[in-house]
Amino acid sequence: MYKNIIIAITAISCIAVFAGILKAGWLYTDEVYTSWYFSRGCQVGDRIYFVTTYRLMQKPKGLARFPDGGTSKELFAKVLLYSCDTNGDNLRLCDELETMQLGGNSTAVSTIMQKKGNTLFIKYYASNHLGEKVHRYHIFTWDMKNEIIRSVTKIEEKRAVMDAMVGLWKVYRQESVGISALKQKVDRYTLAEWKLPSPLDYADKSTDDLLDDLVELKGDRYYRDAIIQAQAGILTDGRIDELLRSIQKRKDSLEGYEQMKYKMTAADLEEKLRKLKNNR
């Protein structure tokens, strides 16, 4: 009986320790990272349609990285259909296509779209589905007149759409709007205008901690841009100068490759802070 009691107490202790590890954030980074990919754009009249995959995640650290580097903690992962006009104005979220199941999804890059009448056919390869080829491709139709999205799930219908799109990739690449050109058209929009959550929505940090993250270059570009955008209203000229001095001090404290790497990444941050100060 005593042996069972000891085993029970040990098990409870282990659970308590593991819960403490989770609470202390020992398994995942406090900073939230972004993965945001775009498809090529399909122009229909004066509108350009395109697919994006937008993910927010916390990267594994410590114990969570064993044995093979670990898996990120997914916070938000959606496949979305957007449109804008040919100048990039009037950005609109058409609809959500689906929630991604795995981070390795190659959705945006593999997207092909084809217009037939008032219907836009959307096909992409979803790497989170194994097995027969027809199951690995996801197909949707977008009714451009009534603005209704439909997922094509019946095997016979999927095969018919896929057969009709055979050989389309080369033509699609030639006639569609390239990813770089598309990004240039829409890079001015805020996450709120995209109707997407910010990395900071999932980062439980104080203002001082967030500004420290800027100096330490924590997170990725999207995370740091979100901090600047969120704190723009309270960042006085004096506070910006203080941040710039802290960045310079950090550069001076490093040597060799670490200094070079920090300088290269910090250059974009310094430019944005100075721009924020000068544009007031």
Residue 105: what pLDDT?
52
Whole-number pLDDT of residue 193:
96
Q: Are 123 and 67 in contact (CB under 8 A)?
A: no
Q: Does the N-terminal peptide bond of residue 67 adopt cis geometry, omega within 30 degrees of 0?
A: yes
Question: Hey, what's the torsion of the CAs at 220, 222, 223, 229, to 10 degrees?
Answer: 140
Strands (E) in the chain, as ranges, are 33-38, 42-44, 47-58, 73-85, 92-99, 112-116, 119-125, 137-143, 148-152
Q: What is the pLDDT at residue 11? A: 44
What was the pLDDT predicted at 7?
47
- Residue 112 and residue 124 in contact, taking contact as beta carbons nearer than 8 Å: yes
- Cα separation, 52 vs 56, whole angstroms: 13
Q: What is the pLDDT of residue 254?
A: 95
Q: Which residue type sits at 108?
A: A
For strands 92-99 and 112-116, give the pairing.
Answer: unpaired
d(CA 51, CA 6): 56
Q: Which residues of 117-137 are buried (b: 16+ CB within 10 A; e: fewer)?
A: eeebbbbbbbbebeeeeeeeb
Determine phi and psi for 73, rounding to 5 degrees: -90, 110
Per-residue confidence (pLDDT) for residue 99, from 0 to 100: 85
- Kindly tell me the burial class for residue 140, based on how many C-beta atoms sit within 10 Å of its own C-beta (0-12, 13-18, 19 or more): buried
Instruction: Look at the pTM and tell me if it is higher than 0.85.
Output: no
What is the chain's pLDDT, residue by residue, as a tens digit (280 residues)? Answer: 545 544 444 444 444 444 444 444 578 888 999 999 999 999 999 999 999 999 999 988 766 555 555 677 889 999 999 999 999 999 999 999 988 765 555 677 788 898 888 999 998 887 555 555 556 778 899 999 999 999 998 888 888 887 777 777 677 777 899 999 999 999 999 999 999 999 999 998 999 999 999 999 999 999 999 999 999 988 999 999 999 999 999 999 999 999 999 999 999 999 999 999 998 7
Identify whether the C-beta of residue 103 lies closer than 8 Å to the C-beta of residue 60.
Answer: no
Tokens of 243: 């941040």
Q: Which of 252, 223, 208 is nearest to 57 (CA)?
A: 223
- Domain spans in the chain, listed from the N-terminal domain onward: 1-27, 33-194, 205-278
